[in-house]
Amino acid sequence: MSDIDLLALRQSSTLSELVADKMEKLILSGKLAAGERINEAVLAKELGVSRGPVREASMLLTSRGLVEFIAFRGAFVRKISRAELLEIYDLRAVLTGQACYLAALKAGGNAGPLNDLHDRMEKAADSNKADRYYELNLKFHECLVDMAGSSRLRTMIDSLVNEMHLYRQVSLRSHPDMAQSNREHRAILDAIIQGDAEKARKLGEAHVRAGKQRFEAAGAETLVEDE
């Protein structure tokens, strides 16, 4: 567990937030394993702060869906079952659909950076660079939600995506059919540019559902995430 505490150089940010960011990384990287209890005193010492900020950070992460708080027992890294993961896919599909719907309404024929991202993803897919594709894919979805312009929606989707990463502390990236995935992106993009909000919703939903089906089709071990 790394403890190069750059905590000192905080700028207009509170210690609790910095600790929360650090903890988020520890959790998403698996250094704090799913199901594990987070010992306030130990973590506080490792980070060079007192228990207060660690407590507050834990609560912050609770609202981000990464941590579960139990009174007098402590904060636990959340553990996601297969059934829950499938449930999350469904919720994310519905919310992503709404994001596409709103994006189409607000775009006004101009899809902004999405076009560029799509092109770069196509290149990554052609040259079979899965890591690069994964990275751009994250940006694409982020950008999509930004276009929708609803902070609530963003928070909800981010939280769900976070939770997905807790499934069996495994990194979800994988090597699916990038070309197919990006064709779906193209279709969503077109609907948004045309301003066809209902179509965008349907395609957005279907895109995430396709990801779910890829996951279900694969074994429980081989995880598939790039949509």
Partner DNA sequence: AAATATTAAATTGTTGACAATCTTGGATCA
Partner DNA sequence: TGATCCAAGATTGTCAACAATTTAATATTT
Q: How far apart are CB 124 and DNA at their closest, in Å?
A: 40
**Applying CB under 7 A, which of residues 24, 27, 32, 53 lies at the interface with DNA?**
53
Contact 29, 165 (CB under 8 A): no
Query: Residue 50, interface with DNA (CB under 7 A)?
Result: yes
Separation of alpha carbons 187 and 205, rounded Å: 12
Q: How far apart are CB 77 and DNA at their closest, in Å?
A: 12
Query: Residue 74, interface with DNA (CB under 7 A)?
Result: yes
Partner whose binding site includes residue 135, from its own copies, DNA, none (CB under 5 to 8 Å by kind): none
Residue 203, CB-side half-sphere exposure with 13 Å CA sphere:
22
**Applying CB under 7 A, which of residues 46, 56, 142, 184 lies at the interface with DNA?**
56
List alpha helices for the chain, DSSP H.
15-28, 40-47, 51-63, 82-107, 113-126, 130-148, 151-164, 178-194, 197-217
Kindly identify the residues of this chain, within the stretch 62-81, that bind its own copies according to CB under 8 A.
Answer: 62-63, 65, 71-72
Q: How far apart are CB 40 and DNA at their closest, in Å?
A: 4
Amino acid letter at 179? A
Q: Which residues pair with 80 in a beta bridge?
A: 167
Contact 221, 82 (CB under 8 A): no
Amino acid letter at 8? A
Residue 212's nearest CA partner among 88, 101, 79 is 88
Separation of alpha carbons 164 and 95, rounded Å: 15
Query: Residue 123, interface with DNA (CB under 7 A)?
Result: no
Partner whose binding site includes residue 103, from its own copies, DNA, none (CB under 5 to 8 Å by kind): none
Contact 76, 27 (CB under 8 A): no
Query: Residue 54, interface with its own copies (CB under 8 A)?
Result: no
Kindly identify the residues of this chain, within the stretch 152-191, that bind its own copies according to CB under 8 A.
Answer: 152-153, 156, 160, 163
Kindly identify the residues of this chain, within the stretch 89-118, that bind its own copies according to CB under 8 A.
Answer: 90-91, 94-95, 97-98, 102
Query: Residue 88, interface with its own copies (CB under 8 A)?
Result: yes
Kindly list the residues in this chain that would bind its own copies in the complex (CB under 8 A): 12-14, 17, 55-56, 59-60, 62-63, 65, 71-72, 84, 87-88, 90-91, 94-95, 97-98, 102, 150, 152-153, 156, 160, 163
